[in-house]
Amino acid sequence: MRAPSTRNEVTRSSEDRDQPNMLMLEKYERCNYCNTKLLFTHDLNLSYLEVIECSRCPGCGVSMAPKKFTLQ
């Protein structure tokens, strides 16, 4: 009687390895120069309904070109 529930637990733990929370919060983009994971900041500009996404390398301090998104 216990066999089916044991099988479910095995399936679940194999999915845990992927850390779904981390993947949703951060993009895995890396610096071209030192391969450090980039930090992203978002500036919300309510008067223009825009979000400006800036990325910066904490390793060597290089800033990448900001990207603009328009909110609809």
Is 38 a binder of Zn ion (CB under 5 A)?
Answer: no
Q: Of 66, 36, 71, which is closest to residue 50 (Cα–Cα)?
A: 71
Is 31 a binder of Zn ion (CB under 5 A)?
Answer: yes
Is 59 a binder of Zn ion (CB under 5 A)?
Answer: yes
CB of 65 to Zn ion, least distance (A): 15
Residue 38: CB atoms within 10 Å: 20
Binder to Zn ion among 7, 23, 29, 34 (CB under 5 A)? 34
Helices (H) and strands (E) in the chain, counts: 2, 3
Q: Pick between residue 35 and residue 70 the one whose CB is nearest to Zn ion.
A: 35
**Which residue's entry shows tokens 């930090």?**
39
